[in-house]
Amino acid sequence: MPTTYRHRGAISLALFTAASLAACEREARRLNQQPPPGPPVTFVSQSPLQPGPTVVTDTAEGEFDDNAYNTSEGQTLYSQMNCSGCHSNGGGNMGPALMDDEWLYGSKPNQIFASIAEGRANGMPSWKYRLTNKQIWQLVAYVRSLSGLTPKGARPARSDHMMVSSPPNQTPNAKPRNSGLPGASQRP
Amino acid sequence: MHSAFDPASPQAHLIASLWWWMLGVGGTIWIIVIATMFYVSFTKHRHREPDDPQHVSEATHRRMERAVIAAGLVTVLVLTVFLGFDYSVGHALAQHPQRALTINVTGHQWWWEAEYEDPDPSKRITTANEIHVPVGQPVQFKLRAADVIHSFWVPNLNGKRDLIPGYVSSQWFRADTAGVYRGQCAEFCGLQHAKMALYIVAEPPAKFAAWMAAAAQSPPPPADSARLYGQRVFLSSGCAVCHTIGGTQAQAFVGPPLTHLKSRATIAAGTLTNTRANLMGWITNPQAIKPGVRMPAYPLTPLQLEALVDYLETLK
Amino acid sequence: MKRLRPAGNVAELPSVVFGSRSLMWWATLGFMVIEGWTLALLVTAYLYLRQNFEAWPPLRTPYPSLLIPTINLVIMLLSFFPAFMAAKRAKQLDTAGVKRWLVVLSLFALAILVIRWWELWAINTRWDTNAYGSAAWTIVGFHTSLLALDVADTLGLTLLFFVREMPARSFSDTSDNSFYWYFTVGIWIPVYLIVYVGPRIF
Amino acid sequence: MQNHHEPVVPAGTALSDEDVAREAAALEEVWHGRSGFWGWLTSVDHKSIGKRYIVTAFAMFLAGGILAAMMRTQLMRPENTLLGPDRYNQIFTTHGTTMMFLFAVPIMTAMGTYFVPLMVGARSIAFPRANAFGYWTYFVGVVFLYVSLIANTGPDTGWFAYVPLSGPQYAPGHRVDVWAQVVTFTEIAALVAAVNIIVTTFKMRSPGMSLNRLPLFVWAQLVVSFMIVFAMPAVATGSTLMLAEDRAVNTHWFNPAEGGDALLWQHVFWFFGHPEVYIIFLPALGFITPIVETFARRKVFGYTALVMSNITTAFFAFGLWVHHMFATPIPELGQSLFTAASMLIAIPTGIQIFCWLATLWAGRPEFRVPLLFVLGFIFTFVNGGITGVMLASVAFDKQAHDTFFVVAHLHYVLIGGGVMPLFGAFYFWFPKITGRMLDETLGKVNFWLFLIGVNVAFFPMHVLGLEGMPRRVYTYLSSTGWGPLNLVSTIGAYVIALSVVVFLVNVIKSWIGGEAAGHNPWNSSGLEWATSSPPPPYNFVHVPVTTSRHPLWDTDVHLPVMTGLRSDRREVLITTTFDARPDHRHEDPEPSIWPLYLALCMGLTFIGSIFSPYLVLVGLGASLPGLLAWAWQSLNSHRGPDRVAAPDVLAETT
């Protein structure tokens, strides 16, 4: 009996510690980080079919996707950079919708990073000289939260605006489909 | 330069006089109560009753009754006078002027946007964190919040007023003494609540008019190639997606407008004096100075940075 | 310490009493005051938000339906009767009568709780549509939690009466349960009027 | 039938020592729960619950104090980098939340839980298991807040969590959710304690203790319990419902774009928040009267005035909330009404102080530590009261609002009006709780360090505020010139810390080896001193009968008691609401694990609501068998026979 109890105690202690550590990461706000020296944007691949060496950035997925503060900063940037001008509040208009499960250029963080940083055909401008890497990763986290690709605990709730679409914390967890525009992968 | 004790407007004067009066009366009351406390506790006087704790003589009871009732009446009296004085001051402060220079102030996390109202939209001047006002003329502020609640407060000139999303509140004062008056956001507004200062620059009407005229102009285009390069850095890098510089393509209002950056005494909402070194330090890593501020540390090469600051220094 | 001197004897006093003499009645009253006051504050907030709108319900927001809420209101009013009867039988220490009326009351309670689900949707506006929807859902939702608690209390009491021998104190508890039922139903009447009928009036 | 209802004491002979000892042994058998850890978990004894309540709440005072010391260290000099804004914001919010919700309110209700039954001469509290449930709920809140803080999820939007800063858009993550649910746990605990104290006071008073003989301590607890009943639902509405909903399920209570209103939060919060201050302050005033009476060796002057002051303060307290909102755009006429009300409330408070001063004047004061703390209270609190009247002025408040002036004011009021009397109460009642006296010399050191520390720490803040220093800043520029006064203030904070250390040393030392106290070490007059120290589980061998406001000072050589309560089951005497005539006997519940179980279910429900609606269902589902088991257990432990007084019948049942 006592051993079982001890085991149980140890397990619950471990679970508890794990939960707290997860919370630490999810709630962390790393405010004062020195920017990396060198050019503004790491070179990223546009598509797997690209000729030459494929360089994929380190995505630091957890630091952004599973972090409430970074996702929220991404949300702020989304409205400040007027992303809604084309993508609306995720519903899409001139640009494609961001809150559905369909992804023209891939739904992985580094793919979305590439879309934002390098821009895409049909009007998506390149942001790599206007935003920092960190800001783009924050946007990536927010964009992914819109379609339920990031951990639920880190997704934002409604914002103080008119309600036009359901907030990320209500979006069900989605399985993305990479549809691809006809011939999209051939474009540089 | 940042104190309610040092009023520079009739409004702040009224409040300060109310304060000194309340301090005098309140202080006197405090001294009387504490003196009474010492007297009743520590002196050997003849009214102390015998040992039986249940016993209080008729005479003593009457004296206690009289003393407590008298003290209660004095309290009521003092409070009534307090109330009267407060109402008169409040009434005076509530009289908003019929005609006044109107400035729309919007609180952002964590800076102040100020727009001088004018019927002609092209003449509206927008500036940040330093608000020039003419001496001797009433100035009316219309206060709005862009994100969370802030509070507009320049203690030398008037009390504070909250900026609340969904509301437009107003505040006014008339600066009677020329000077630079510091104020600071008074309602907790997040990470950099501590570094959200503003300055009211009160100057004689002629000087103020000159400032207005200058502020309405766009800065001259860059004169030499180094500064031209600086402008290019500004326009093609991240700066222009948030900031405005009059006469250029940079027309964003995410961050403070920089059209007349060098005419301001401080940067980063009153956090740093506006020197070349501070400007460079700020651009290099704002997060080290105001952790959490919305401006990112944008990676620039030393050459770009030099040229950018060269250019920014021309924005007088 | 002073010596103790007997000044009276309480051995002959009763040990089970009804109504405001009993402690449980006071606890129930306290609970009612707290919950009633919370509901009153929510209704005040609802009316406060009303001032932010030109129309009520707001533009492009449908009226709440009246049919289901009215049906449920009628059922709730009818349920006063079994509650009253259960309390009456309890005061007569009539175990069979209490059992009978508790079953009837339980059926009513369950029916009301089930219909409440459709009654919530009869608001016709989701809670996340606008502040009007939020306020209406919160008020009805909060009352639903009170109702659910009361239903659980009633069902639990009924169950206990059927599965075991109950001491005399349980009769007092039964009458307090009815007392709380009157409150739950009674407080619904103004809520019904404000949330469901109100938008058609103001 | 009528005879034994009369509390008039017939002449007679005292019970023999053997009779009393035999009765005590029988009661001990019935009332003593299991010992050991299980016994501790299942205890429903209001003294045992009250004691752990007091200890937990005091631990929260220490935790909040440590956070305060960290803040003061950060603010010691301009542009200090010890704490960044992110940490600082969590710390100041947790400090405020701890002090208001986890220390001040709980410790006042804890004192009530422990002492009200003793003071009214009851064997138990009205609802012992609910009392235990309240404590455990509070304990869940305590653990939750501090685990969250350590896990970097400490709330960071201030203890009044203004929206929209605390709303879904500007407070990402779960930090504010933690705050909202911690408040929920305090609400539940406070409401349970309030109902318990009200019913205990109304129905369980010693025969003869009509309301006009009720001790002023109990009056204060009674009035405050009513305030809790009407104030806590407001914050429940605001935080547990509106704020949590806005954050979790996207309602629009506070979203102006969809018809919500940011000021609604302020109205709702301060409708609770202002009475909250008096919920802390009035029980503290309740401590003062017995201390003054005991050490001035004089019955208090103006019993009726003191009671009326309590009641009027409680009424006015609900009419002041807007004075926290003078800087918001609300109509000026409304504001002036609240100014008047805010000034009016100074009158009843003033009258209470005058009554105590009058009592001291007629008495023969003996300056033991509890009385020193009462004098310290007057010295500090009057200052805070006067700045309070100043802040009631709309014009002046617009300068002082949200600055360090307000910080100074609220600490003068809450430390002066709450903590000073509380320390006095600790020194006064520690012998009753533990059976040991606290050391007098250490007590005096404790007192003087505290008095000096509080004034050095908080007085300079008045000046800082008017020099323009807003509250809740994590740092300030050296050019502001606020450095020197902040340094002084920080030194004062360290002196307070030292004083608290002295107190802790005193408690530990005295608890282990202090001088034995005996029944009534201070020769005080209340019924709590009529039983042993610490009191037995059943409080009184026989329920005492009250013949005056000062039962133990009566010249009668004997203590009149009621006999006849059963000693073969836990039985308490219930009396009528106003006159306290014996009405019936009530069977008190046995120890139970279910209060703890249900509190954990509540914890799961409310903490779970942050993460997933399913956890709410799990929590509620788990609590249903708990409720059933709670009822089942009390049916099983029932010991008949009963005499039933129904309207229609009077029957004997088993």
CA distance C91 to B163: 61
Side-chain half-sphere CA neighbours of D318 within 13 A: 15
What's the pLDDT score for residue A11? 67
> Taking a C-beta distance cutoff of 8 angstroms, is the pair B176, B245 a contact?
no
User: How far C165 CA sits from the closest chain A CA (Å)?
Assistant: 36
Q: What is the pLDDT of residue C153?
A: 94
Q: Write the pLDDT tens digit of every residue in D243-258.
A: 999 999 999 999 999 9
For C36: left if phi > 0, alpha if psi spans -120 to 50, otherwise beta; the answer is alpha
- What digits encode the pLDDT tens for the residues D356-391? 999 999 888 999 999 999 999 999 999 999 999 999
Going by C-alpha positions, the residue among D40, D101, D92, D33 that lies closest to residue D66 is D92
Question: How many other C-beta atoms can be found within 10 angstroms of the C-beta atom of residue D445?
Answer: 17
Token digits of residue D33: 């729960």
In which element (H, E) is residue B147 found? Answer: none
**What is the rounded CA–CA span in Å between residue B158 and residue B171?**
8
Cα dist. D123→B117, D212, D540, D545 in Å? Answer: 73, 21, 6, 13
Contact between B259 and A3 under an 8 Å Cβ cutoff? The reply is no
- Regions of chain A short of the pLDDT cut 70: 1-24, 33-62, 178-188
Check: CB of residue B230 under 8 Å from CB of residue B312.
yes
Across residues D429-454, what is the average pLDDT?
A: 96
DSSP B84-146: HHHHHHHHHHH---SS-EEEEEEEETTEEEEEE--SSGGG-EEEESEEEEETTSEEEEEEEES
Distance in Å, alpha carbon of C52 to nearest chain A alpha carbon: 15
Q: Strand pairing of B150-154 and B158-163?
A: antiparallel
- Kindly provide the b/e burial profile for residues D362-381, where b requires at least 16 CB atoms within 10 angstroms of the residue's own CB: bbebeebbbbbbbbbbbbbb
Q: Three-state SS for B171?
A: strand
* pLDDT on residue A41: 47
Residues of chain B positioned with their CB less than 8 A from the CB of D335 = 90
CATH 3.40.50.300 fits B101-216, yes or no: no
Cα A160 to chain centroid distance, Å, stands at 21
pLDDT tens by residue, B67-119? 999 999 999 999 999 999 999 998 888 888 888 899 999 999 999 999 999 88
Question: How far apart are alpha carbons C62 and B147 in whole angstroms?
Answer: 31
Which residues in chain C have their CB less than 8 angstroms from residue A159's CB? Answer: none
Q: Give Cβ neighbours of residue B88 (< 8 Å, ≥ 6 apart).
A: none
Q: Is the pLDDT confidence value at D2 over 70?
A: no
| Per-residue confidence (pLDDT) for residue A16, from 0 to 100 | 65
CA–CA dist A119, A127 (Å, integer): 7
> What is the CATH code of the structural domain delimited by B225-312?
2.60.40.420
Lookup result for tokens 């519903």: A91
Residues of D in contact with C33 (CB under 8 A): 229
Residue B231: which residues within 8 A CB-CB, separation 6 or more? B221, B222, B248, B311
Query: Which among D470, D445, D537 has a CA at the least distance from the CA of D125?
Result: D537
Q: Give the 3-state secondary structure of residue B186.
A: coil
Q: How many C-beta atoms surround the C-beta of residue D204 within 10 A? A: 25
What are the E-state strand segments in D43-179?
Answer: none
- Which region among B48-52, D297-301, D306-310, D336-340 has the lowest average model confidence (pLDDT)? B48-52
| Span D594-646, pLDDT tens digits | 999 999 999 999 999 998 889 999 999 999 999 999 999 989 888 888 888 87
A window 65-84, beta carbon within 8 A of D: 68-69, 71-72, 75
- The domains located in chain A, with CATH, are 40-186 (1.10.760.10)
Report how many Cβ contacts below 8 Å link chain A to chain D.
Answer: 79
Residue D3: per-residue pLDDT: 42
Residue D323 in this model has a pLDDT that exceeds 80? yes
The answer to whether C157 touches C112, Cβ cutoff 8 Å, is: no
Q: Would an 8 Å CB–CB cutoff place B242 in contact with chain A?
A: yes
Helices (H) and strands (E) in chain B, counts: 8, 12
3-state SS, D404-430, equals: HHHHHHHHHHHHHHHHHHHHHHHHHHH
Q: Which residues contact A173 (CB under 8 A, 6 or more apart)?
A: A148, A149, A152
Q: C47: exposed, middle or buried (C-beta count within 10 Å: 0-12, 13-18, 19+)?
A: middle
Cα–Cα distance measured from residue C39 to residue C195, given in angstroms and rounded to the nearest whole number:
12
Give the H/E segment covering residue D393.
Answer: none
Q: In this structure, are residues D208 and D580 in contact, taking their beta carbons and an 8 Å threshold?
A: yes
Report pLDDT for A8.
59
Distance CA D364, CA B44 (A): 9
SS3 A24: helix
Tally Cβ neighbours within 10 Å of residue A53. 7
Residue type, D476: Y
Q: What pLDDT, on a 0 to 100 scale, did the predictor assign at position D645?
A: 85
Q: Measuring CA to CA, how many Å separate D126 from each of A165, B120, D196?
A: 52, 73, 6
Which chain A positions have a beta carbon within 8 Å of B298's beta carbon? 35, 40, 132
Handedness of CA D425, D431, D434, D438 (dihedral sign): positive
Q: How far is CA D429 from CA A116, D34, D630, in A?
A: 68, 26, 33
Give the rounded percent of residues in chain D with a pLDDT score beyond 70. 97
Q: What are the structural domains, with CATH classification, of chain D?
A: 17-283+524-597 (1.20.210.10)
Contact predicate D459/D324, CB 8 Å: no
Query: What is the Cα–Cα distance from B179 to B182, expressed in whole angstroms?
Result: 10
Task: Report chain A residues whose CB lies below 8 A from the CB of D153.
Answer: 23-24, 27
CA distance C91 to A39: 86
Q: Tell me the CA distances in angstroms from D629 to A174, C156, D590, D598, D635, one per residue in order.
A: 42, 10, 13, 10, 10
> What pLDDT band is residue D336 in, cutting at 50, 70 and 90?
confident
Residue B201 token pair = 């620059």
In the numeric block, which tokens belong to residue D267?
Answer: 């109205």
Report whether B192 contacts D470 (CB < 8 A): no
What is the chain A residue with the closest CA to B165?
A: A160
What's D473-489 look like in SS3? CCCCCHHHCCHHHHHHH
Interchain CB contacts (distance < 8 Å): B and D:
262
D357, D367, D371, best to mutate vs chain B, most B CBs in 10 Å? D357
Is a pLDDT exceeding 90 seen at residue B142? Answer: yes
Confidence of residue D6 (pLDDT cuts 50, 70, 90): very low
The pLDDT of residue A22: 64
Please tell me which residue of chain A has the smallest CA distance to C129: A163
Burial category of B285 from C-beta neighbours within 10 Å (exposed 0-12, middle 13-18, buried 19 and up): middle
> How far is it, in rounded angstroms, from Cα D86 to Cα B190?
9
| C128 touches A at CB < 8 Å | yes
Contacts of A162 in chain D (CB under 8 A): 257-258
Determine whether the interchain pair B238/A131 forms a contact, defined as Cβ–Cβ distance below 8 Å: yes
* Statement: residue D75 has pLDDT above 90: yes
Q: What is the DSSP letter of B44?
A: -
**Using CA atoms, how far apart are residues A53 and A45, in angstroms rounded to an integer?**
9
Show which of residues 159-178 on chain A sit within 8 Å of chain B, judged by CB atoms: 160
Cα angle, residue C84 at apex, residues C78 and C87 outer, rounded to 5°: 150
Listed by number, the residues of chain C in 59-118 with a beta carbon closer than 8 Å to a beta carbon of chain D are 91-93
Q: Measured between CB atoms, which of C3, C132, C152 is closest to D558?
A: C3
pLDDT in tens, C93-144: 999 999 999 999 999 999 999 999 999 999 999 999 999 999 999 999 999 9
Chain D residues in contact with A161 (beta carbon < 8 A) = 255, 257
